[in-house]
Amino acid sequence: MLLICFGQLLLAQESPLCFQKQSDSIRINLEKHVQYLSSHKLLGRSSLTGHDIKASNYIDSIFQSFDLNPYLAIPERTFFQPFAILSTIPQRRTMNFMGSTYDYGNDFICLGTDPKISKKFEIVFGGFGEVDEIDSPDLNGKALLIFANNLRIAGMRVSEYAMEKGCSLIIVANPNYPKQFESISQHLQEQHNSRRFSIIQSKPSSPSRFFSKLNNPIPQVLISDRLAARMLGENPMKLAKSLEKGKPLKSIPSELKVCFNLSYNVDTIFTRNVISYIPSSIGSQESILVCAHIDHLAPEGRNWFPGADDNASGISIIIELARLFTNDMKNGYLPHRNIVFAAFTAEEIGLFGSEFYSLNPLFNIDSITAVLNFDMIGKMGKQLKHGNNLFVSGKNRLDGFVKIINAFNSDSTMTVDTKDLEKITLFTLSDHYHFMEKGIPSFLLTTGLHDDYHKPTDTSEKLSYDKMVKIIQLAYDAIKHFADKPSPWE
């Protein structure tokens, strides 16, 4: 016990003795950054309106003044990491079978990626999708039609085996509960008609929690009982009962093919992250990623959303952390591992800035020691029923991370909390997600939800700047620990 306490004392002493003297200037800087980023000049910093570009210019100018290393030095020195987001708005979407046209939402819906629109699919009936039912038929390039008692998971259950057999499309009907299709279609109605986003260079994936997590999933189409009867030429429920009695699978004539007319209005949004770093003293490829998201919400009519806490607060904190480490660097300090400071954009519409960086990192993605993501970090003490809590969420060494954080948390007025976050937030999805999913120790640091969340009232004067200074000191010590210790997780 003495050894543990002494070790914690040594950790606590790593923070610069002059930190308290800097508190006033840090607080002033934080308030200045938040006031500008949440001002009417930036009108919410949305990546959909281009105001995130103005915010990125502000961050770039500060990183330039700190003399940090840029994202690229050749052919020109720049802190910008540009990328493009594809925006697609669904137009008319129909399915054609035997000369009849069926509408999206009424007779079919797609889960995950859409089927190819230029292809006519021959349909193979696979009963209930059991391996012995779909093992013999030739599925290469064809559509597999199966029955299921649960439309949400049936396609996922057979997709891996169907993929091995070269299947191009999975069609699912529920003969025993025909109303399930209608229920799911109504549940996903808003998603049917909403704008979709994706980034160039991202792997095919599905936004639906009902869909397979395979890297290159087979498109899945759920169909109504009416359409299933048309495809099979008889009542689906009667056919299902006959299959349960051991009767052979029904064969669908090969000339009866299905094809899709799925049209979208496609646009391209050009935006950029802002990336800088302090280099390793030994040329290591290992890195610490310190990040926050730039963007917030687009205006709605006369209302605009300042986003002071979400997430001008997080950006302001990483700016001040970068300044502190830059000052250390001027005094001769160089870390054992690279310290990367990343301001990601397009978080609000789908975590796209962080996704792009995870696919195009400065240093090998597998060599990231830890990710510290600051999102809504400015309202400690103003939370809903949770006092002075700093919430930490994440996977992969969460307990170890909290122990390290608490070793530096000498201020008893702040509680590091990993248990209550799920109770007070709708979700904890933020820019650490893409790294967390790759098995990298990745953590969200936040002070949680409040009454001003995603409202025009999320303004700069409501933040707790003195407590943000305390969070900065805690984060500074933790980053230095991860950057300098030979075995930081031990």
Least confident of 12-26, 80-94, 181-195: 12-26
- Average pLDDT (424-435) is 73
CB 402 within 8 A of CB 418: yes
Strand partners, 110: 221
Task: Find where tokens 């400690």 sit.
Answer: 380
pLDDT tens-digit series, residues 444-479: 999 988 889 899 999 999 999 999 999 999 999 999
The mean pLDDT value for 59-77 works out to 94
* 31 phi and psi angles, rounded to 5 deg: -65, -40
Residue listed under structure tokens 């987001």: 85
DSSP per-residue codes, 409-458: ---TT-EEESSSHHHH-S---STTHHHHTTT--EEEEE----TTTTSTT-
pLDDT tier for residue 378 given thresholds of 50, 70 and 90:
very high
Between 209-218, 367-376, 409-418, the lowest mean confidence (pLDDT) is in: 209-218
From CA 475, how far away is CA 405, in angstroms rounded? 8
What residues pair up with 122 in beta bridges, in sequence order? 257
Q: What pLDDT, on a 0 to 100 scale, did the predictor assign at position 2?
A: 36
Q: So what's the pLDDT on residue 428? A: 59
For residue 331, give every residue at least 6 positions away whose Cβ sits within 8 Å of its Cβ, in sequence order, or none: none
pLDDT in tens, 297-346: 999 989 999 999 999 999 999 999 999 999 999 999 999 999 999 999 99
What is d(CA 467, CA 460) in angstroms, rounded to the nearest whole number? 14
* Contact status, residue 156 vs residue 209, Cβ threshold 8 Å: no
199 token code pair: 């980034």
pLDDT of residue 85: 94
Q: Say yes or no to pLDDT of 219 above 50.
A: yes
With a pLDDT cut of 90, the percent of the chain lying above it is 68
Residue 391: pLDDT above 80?
A: yes
Share of residues in the chain with pLDDT > 70 (%): 88
For the chain, what is the radius of gyration of the CA atoms?
A: 27
Measured CA to CA, the distance from residue 241 to residue 235 in angstroms comes to: 10
Which amino acid type is present at position 319? Answer: I
**Segments making up each domain of the chain, as ranges:** 2-85+268-484, 99-255
Coil, helix or strand for 271?
A: strand
Q: Which position has the higher pLDDT, 363 or 10?
A: 363
What's the whole-number mean pLDDT along residues 80-96? 91
What is the average pLDDT across 384-400? 83
Residue scoring higher pLDDT (308 or 396): 308
pLDDT given at position 419 = 72
Rounded to 10 deg, the angle between the 2-12 and 465-484 helix axes is 110
Q: How confident is the model at residue 420 (pLDDT cuts 50, 70, 90)?
A: low
pLDDT at 83 over 60: yes
User: Is domain 2-85+268-484 in CATH 3.40.109.10, yes or no?
Assistant: no
What architecture does CATH give domain 99-255? 3-Layer(bba) Sandwich (3.50)
pLDDT tens figures, 114-161: 898 879 999 999 999 998 999 989 999 999 999 998 887 777 778 888
Per-residue confidence (pLDDT) for residue 200, from 0 to 100: 80
- Measured CA to CA, the distance from residue 432 to residue 395 in angstroms comes to 10
pLDDT at 152: 74
* Alpha-carbon separation of residue 438 from 290, 395, 429 (angstroms): 17, 10, 15
Under 8 Å between Cβ of 292 and 369: no
pLDDT of 177 > 80? The answer is yes
pLDDT of 211: 36
Q: What is the mean pLDDT of residues 186-215?
A: 60
**Res 205: pLDDT:** 41
Asked if the peptide bond before residue 115 counts as cis, ω within 30 degrees of 0, the response is no
Long-range contacts of 278-282 (CB under 8 A, 24+ apart): 278/68, 278/69, 278/325, 278/326, 278/329, 278/334, 278/335, 278/338, 278/339, 279/69, 279/334, 279/338, 280/334, 280/335, 280/336, 280/337, 280/338, 281/334, 281/335, 281/336, 282/336
Q: What is the pLDDT of residue 64?
A: 95
Mean pLDDT of the chain: 88
Which helix H or strand E contains 241, and what residues bound it?
helix 236-244
pLDDT for 29 equals 97
Q: Which residues contact 202 (CB under 8 A, 6 or more apart)?
A: 352, 355, 356, 359
Q: Is the pLDDT confidence value at 441 over 70?
A: yes
Residue 203 clears pLDDT 70, i.e. is over it: no
For residue 339, the model assigns a pLDDT of 98
Give the mean pLDDT of 344-372.
Answer: 95
Q: What pLDDT score does 215 carry?
A: 46
What distances in angstroms separate CA 27 from CA 30, 316, 359, 464, 465, one per listed residue? 5, 10, 35, 10, 6
* Distance set, CA 38 to CA 215, 357, 390 (Å): 38, 25, 22
CA-to-CA dists, residue 179 to 107, 151, 174, 226, 308, angstroms: 12, 11, 8, 11, 45
What does the pLDDT read at residue 208? 35
pLDDT of residue 12: 40
The residue with greater pLDDT, 2 or 294, is 294
Higher pLDDT pick, 440 / 213: 440
